[in-house]
Structure 1
């Protein structure tokens, strides 16, 4: 059974780009239906992450963003324990 799926021009263009890249790199011609089916199968493996991507709120950071954040951290050489933190926060 086949059903039409409506998508905007940008999504259609990206799908066509992926389709062309597959043909260029593998020599195999795949239909957009095959491509969408494979994409769906791929998402099933990481379904919870995919579902979370639709949640409202703060978007999840990419690995590159996390790495960039961590590079900005420095070690001061001073050991900090819970009592130090309590003293700073609560006086």
Structure 2
């Protein structure tokens, strides 16, 4: 397992609403390499469905956005509760497609 590293691509969505800074890193795991972005509660303005537990992440709740490092498409990004992200390799799928 290689160490985590910050990635600064300078892409169009480098800063969240309100001008704050994204906290983004690359993670290697048994399920591949992922880009993981921390979303603060203040920046979370929409509701999302967590693929780990299939429960809603309500607006104002801090969470993670993750997508495969080898895929740059916005359609591949998923919003996760932090504990669900950490447990993703220890539990089965929820029945929803990631």
Query: How high is the TM-score relative to the length of structure 1?
Result: 0.22
Q: Find the structure with the greater CA-based Rg.
A: 1
Q: Which has the higher strand share?
A: 2
Q: Which has the higher helix share?
A: 1
